[in-house]
A and B are shown apart, each in its own frame.
Chain A
Amino acid sequence: MELAAWLILLLPLISSGLIGIGAFRSKPVSAGFSIGAVTGSFLLSLVMVANVETLHTSVNWLAIEGLKFDIGLQIDTLSKLMLCVVTGIGSLIHIFSLGYMKDDRDFSRYFGFLSLFIFSMLGIVLADNFVMMFIFWELVGVSSYLLIGFWFEKPSAADAAKKAFLTNRVGDFGFLIGILMVWMLFQTVSFSELQLNDQKEGALILSGLAGFLIFCGAMGKSAQAPLHVWLPDAMEGPTPVSALIHAATMVAAGVYMLCRVFFLIQGTWAMEVIAWIGGVTALMAALMAVQQDDIKRILAYSTLSQLGYMVMVVGLGGDQDDHYLITGVAGTDAAMFHLTTHAFFKAMLFLGAGSVIYACHHEQDIWKMGGLRFRMPKTYWTFLIGTLALCGVPLFSGFFSKEAILVVAFKESMPLFLIAVVVAVLTTFYMTRLFIVAFTGDARSEHAMHAKESPNVMTLPLLFLAVPSVFAGYFNMHEPDPIILFASVIAVVFGALMARALYQNVDKDPLPAKLGIVAKAMNKRFWFDELYQWLIENVQENLARIADIADRWIISGLLVRGVHGSTELAGRLLRLAQTGNLQTYAFWFTAGLVAVLIFALS
């Protein structure tokens, strides 16, 4: 079994290594390796679920006296669930890519990167200590950099990749300092050892700080405010990559990590911060989504908003009870539950969007679509299921997981509960808007007019994903609370009716005219990017400029020329001594000899 666990992790690495070494010459071989590896990992994960309760194994990576970094695998309920999500959805996305990337000249490179990404992600899932998690954290960062910037000749893609990596790096910086603090407090970085001696007195303030810093890592990866700016831009990558990174895996890593180390932050002041950051992100992103026109960007903001939900509920905590199957704590359990269902339907929505974009010849503006319903029936129906699930329509998977979140929020914090309900209304609103505009009505462009259903290799993964999108909610169902049930149903109905009233049979968005500056703010994402751009240009660049000038003129200039000058001066002085007069030399020679003698004899 240990071998199988290692294989889950290593198969994608082997595949990416083989593609890198030589298999890239042949498209089918590369794709074969990559798909084989990820489905292999998926099957082995299923074997784990069926046969293994918990498993822990590790090898040493680096050991110096007083410091020990292991690479270890920790398999328990939490990681088993996540393994299945990552490899399962990963497999379908690999297959979908076969069709979507068919004509790309860097087909093999694409699959090599995908494998590398899956490897890094599985490393996070299986990690049994902080340092290993940090290692794979960085690796996910770089493989997403490679994937987002896959079409590197396109300036916008190259910039987006850079932005994603750097924003993540800011989060990682906090994460690293957090790990150092944990190490200082507990002398270990291993999760299991931390869990044993986590009751340290008097360290609450510090461990709160450590918890917050670790959360910074999650803020980067899970794109929480204020580090959310990279995610919408990251839509520049190929659409299957968006589905993989921005729905199922990478962004979920932050939430997963919080659940993994929840015992460390539990009961500290960091919890409250986390909950509020999550809530604010959820609301802000939902507002931004309302005024976006790019189909992938709407989904991206929706992902942000849903991640905000998950982070919020982790921060809320809630009661501990064994009937929370995944983690034993209401908050993290709800977060993981929503993470799972969300991974399914969001991956499906992204792939559906990919199918639409593919059919419309890489047109992404929803106002240039329309009437796709009859031209792309399979995509239409699966997209509808995804939308219903995301909105939380009763009986679909998203309904159950969203309700789990609302239940915890209702118990723990009224203001956050209200925010959550408003977000639910907004979610239904922007999804209905997207759906009505893109799929119903008349075609608004040539491409949309001639759109054809995508090939089977693309629609089959959609159909496969539709099943769990509907039913995944039933495996972790709890007794419904009537107030919450009422609130969430009202939210859905209200949001949908509003969107329907506004967007049925219109050719352009009526909202900007009605809301004016507010709509503009939503559209411009509350000017976060502009603010950061300004900060970078004025603070970072000026700092660098000052350093550069100081380097060039003060240090290099003064010091070097100073040395130069003094050497020259010394040279001139010495020249005075070299008179060419033999008597003078004889005098100095004798004087020197006397000096040496005095020194030697005394």
Chain B
Amino acid sequence: MILPLLASLVISFIPGSQVKAIRNVSLGVSGLSAILSLVAFCTFQVDGGLQFETKWVWVESLGLNFHLGADGINIGIIFMGAVVSFAAVCCADDITYRFKEFYILLNIMIGGVLGAFASMDLFFFYFFHELALVPTFIMIGVWGRGQNRNYAAYKITLYLSLGALLALIGLIGVYVQAGADSFSIPDLIAKVKAQPINESAQQWIFPLLMFGFGILVSLWPFHTWAPLGYGTAPTATAMLHAGVLKKFGLYGLIRVAIPMAPIGAQFWLGILAWLALANLLFCGLVAVRQRDLNLLIGNSSVAHMGFIFLGIASLNIIGLTGAVLVMIAHGLLAALAFGVSGHLYQQNGSLDMSQMGGLLRKMPLAGTALLMAMMAGCGLPGFANFAGEITIFFAAWSAGFKVITVIAAWSALVVGGLYMLRAIRNILHGAQPDVWKKTRDSSPLPTTAFGLLLALLLVFGFAPGLLTKGIELEVKKIVYLVKPEINEAKQLSVVAK
């Protein structure tokens, strides 16, 4: 997990003219970390709790430790993150100037992303996220597309900094209010379990965290940075940010916000459910109107965040498990979609869908990848997204959000189908306009990346149990923390038997 950071160091010593060497080092390193994470994922003991721990004491007096580890929730996310990172490097061949700087930043970003999800220490959890976030801004500003890139970089910086700031205040609030002497997340959870943070403090800590993290994940109505940012970001950046980094806020909600402020959560999650619905329906409708492919994918990705929020808002075992499942599935999907759209952009410098058509014939590989991504995006069974989405529907229904579930199902099945199929119809089907006559199919490396992402989507779609078993065990602990009565009732029924 630390490898990419080392790589960025190495790259900064390679002269900028050695383009190939830089790219190969990045490829090798991200490939290696993807393989290592696969090994970790396969050797992970489902019921073993926290594993692969690394712990170095840093600042003892403050209880700051460099503490990495994986449990049922983040092992899948780390694996997904490592694979997406590799895919992002594969698809980064659209960079034509300032190679060295780009790859240094890219590797820092990858390191930060993976670090954030692996950290078991609140400080590093936040630190790594910031480490990944800053390169994002720079990459959009410097290597971004089109005239709009400065505005986009500015907007995304503004929003995400604001979100991060709110979350930071919330986190400091947690630390102070819990009277903690350690930043370690497990220690903190143990602490608040023994002695909860007082109720009124929870009432302000949770919304801070919820909106802080929420802005990072493009919670409605703080979402407008996302489509614009992704529309202008270079391919690899969009893949990494939309795929992995964005999930940080959701991860924070599950990992920190809910366990730390369970009473605040129960009150505020009702509101979150409605905002989630707004994400799903509103952004779905906005996506219908888009003519630019990247804006469409961006908006649909914002809409998909609604599922995850809804799962979290259900606050039951099914919902949280489904939420983590969709996080992983959407990470793979978003990377795939932005990867393919990046390839299309590279061909013609435009993603205006009204000018496209018939590309399935011209580029069977990239076209098929896009087709499958769109299908996964509208929740087709067989892909991991479906498994997560249907789980979340059941969860939200059983949590009592019936109206929300009905409208969410409409947004997912009909509105989602509408914009995805329109995109396919405009881009892949129909006649081929002249401007797209000279285009080429994707080269082997990006094709491998697409294939890899698709394969994982299918594997987790056919066997979601690979992920859910581990997630469920960890999520249970959180749900029992919030609703102790469930646990007691269950133990009673076991005793009765």
CB interface residues, B 428-444, toward A, < 8 Å: 428-432
- The listed residue (A155, A173, A184, A555) touching B409 by CB distance below 8 A is A173
Interface of B is mostly: helix
A-binding segment of B51-59, B166-174, B182-190, B389-397: B389-397
Residue A65, interface by CB 8 Å: yes
Q: Which residue of B lies closest to A173 (CB)?
A: B413
Interface centre among A158, A183, A545 (most CB of B within 10 A): A158
Determine whether the beta carbon of B394 is less than 8 Å from that of A560.
no
CB interface residues, A 525-578, toward B, < 8 Å: 540-541, 543-548, 550-551, 555-556, 559-560, 563-564, 567
- The listed residue (B158, B386, B413, B417) touching A563 by CB distance below 8 A is B158
CB interface residues, A 138-171, toward B, < 8 Å: 138-139, 142, 145, 149, 152-153, 155, 158-159, 161-162, 165-166, 169-170
Determine whether the beta carbon of A153 is less than 8 Å from that of B431.
yes
Determine whether the beta carbon of A180 is less than 8 Å from that of B394.
yes
CB interface residues, B 384-405, toward A, < 8 Å: 386-387, 390-391, 393-395, 397-398, 405
- The listed residue (A166, A545, A548) touching B421 by CB distance below 8 A is A166
Determine whether the beta carbon of B429 is less than 8 Å from that of A158.
yes
- Compute how far the CA of A567 lies from the CA of B395 in the bound complex, rounded to whole angstroms: 41
Residue B476, interface by CB 8 Å: yes
Determine whether the beta carbon of B381 is less than 8 Å from that of A165.
no
Interface residues on B, range: 35 or more
Given the known interface contacts A61-B464, A139-B380, A139-B381, the answer about A169 and B417 at a Cβ–Cβ threshold of 8 Å is yes
Residue B425, interface by CB 8 Å: yes
Given the known interface contacts A159-B425, A548-B289, the answer about A62 and B465 at a Cβ–Cβ threshold of 8 Å is yes
Determine whether the beta carbon of A66 is less than 8 Å from that of B317.
yes
Residue A81, interface by CB 8 Å: no
CB interface residues, B 346-394, toward A, < 8 Å: 358, 360-361, 375, 379-382, 386-387, 390-391, 393-394
Determine whether the beta carbon of A67 is less than 8 Å from that of B394.
yes
Nearest CB on A from B376, distance (A): 11
CB interface residues, B 403-422, toward A, < 8 Å: 405-406, 409-410, 413-414, 417-418, 421-422
Nearest CB on A from B276, distance (A): 16
Interface centre among B155, B283, B285, B379 (most CB of A within 10 A): B285
Residue A135, interface by CB 8 Å: yes
- Compute how far the CA of A563 lies from the CA of B285 in the bound complex, rounded to whole angstroms: 25
Determine whether the beta carbon of A153 is less than 8 Å from that of B429.
yes
- The listed residue (A153, A162, A180) touching B361 by CB distance below 8 A is A153
- Chain B, residues 51-92, CB within 8 Å of chain A (1/0): the string is 000000000000000000000000000000000000000000
Residue B136, interface by CB 8 Å: no
Determine whether the beta carbon of B282 is less than 8 Å from that of A551.
yes
Q: Which residue of B lies closest to A171 (CB)?
A: B413
Given the known interface contacts A67-B391, A139-B380, A547-B282, the answer about A176 and B409 at a Cβ–Cβ threshold of 8 Å is yes
Residue B286, interface by CB 8 Å: yes
Q: Which residues of B contact A555 (CB under 8 A)?
A: 221, 223-224
Residue A63, interface by CB 8 Å: yes
Residue B119, interface by CB 8 Å: no
Residue B237, interface by CB 8 Å: no
Nearest CB on B from A556, distance (A): 4
Q: Which residues of B contact A551 (CB under 8 A)?
A: 224, 282-283, 286
Q: Which residues of B contact A162 (CB under 8 A)?
A: 421-422, 424-425
Q: Which residues of B contact A159 (CB under 8 A)?
A: 425
- Compute how far the CA of A184 lies from the CA of B394 in the bound complex, rounded to whole angstroms: 9
- Compute how far the CA of A180 lies from the CA of B400 in the bound complex, rounded to whole angstroms: 12
Q: Which residue of A lies closest to B316 (CB)?
A: A66
Residue B472, interface by CB 8 Å: yes
Residue A498, interface by CB 8 Å: no
Q: Which residues of A contact B321 (CB under 8 A)?
A: 64
Determine whether the beta carbon of A152 is less than 8 Å from that of B318.
no
Interface centre among A69, A180, A184, A563 (most CB of B within 10 A): A180
Q: Which residues of A contact B405 (CB under 8 A)?
A: 177, 180
Given the known interface contacts A65-B317, A162-B425, the answer about A155 and B398 at a Cβ–Cβ threshold of 8 Å is no
- Chain B, residues 215-234, CB within 8 Å of chain A (1/0): the string is 00000011110001000000
- Chain A, residues 34-63, CB within 8 Å of chain B (1/0): the string is 000000000000000000000000001111
- The listed residue (B316, B380, B464) touching A138 by CB distance below 8 A is B380
Q: Which residues of A contact B394 (CB under 8 A)?
A: 67, 180, 183
Q: Which residue of B lies closest to A563 (CB)?
A: B158
Q: Which residues of A contact B424 (CB under 8 A)?
A: 162
Determine whether the beta carbon of A152 is less than 8 Å from that of B360.
yes
- The listed residue (A63, A131, A169, A545) touching B414 by CB distance below 8 A is A169
Nearest CB on B from A230, distance (A): 12
CB interface residues, A 191-214, toward B, < 8 Å: none
Residue A172, interface by CB 8 Å: yes
Given the known interface contacts A139-B381, A152-B428, the answer about A66 and B224 at a Cβ–Cβ threshold of 8 Å is no
Determine whether the beta carbon of A560 is less than 8 Å from that of B224.
yes
- The listed residue (A152, A177, A544) touching B429 by CB distance below 8 A is A152
Determine whether the beta carbon of B414 is less than 8 Å from that of A138.
no
Residue B134, interface by CB 8 Å: no
Determine whether the beta carbon of B382 is less than 8 Å from that of A139.
yes
Q: Which residue of A lies closest to B490 (CB)?
A: A65
Nearest CB on B from A361, distance (A): 22
Q: Which residues of A contact B472 (CB under 8 A)?
A: 64-65
Nearest CB on B from A497, distance (A): 46
20 more contacts with CB within 8 A, not counting A152-B358, A152-B360, are A66-B317, A66-B318, A67-B391, A135-B381, A149-B429, A152-B429, A152-B430, A153-B429, A162-B424, A165-B421, A169-B413, A173-B409, A541-B288, A544-B285, A547-B283, A547-B285, A551-B286, A555-B221, A563-B162, A567-B158
- Can you name 18 A-B residue pairings with CB atoms under 8 Å? A61-B463, A62-B465, A64-B322, A65-B472, A66-B316, A67-B391, A138-B380, A139-B382, A152-B430, A153-B432, A155-B430, A169-B413, A172-B413, A173-B413, A547-B285, A548-B285, A551-B224, A555-B223
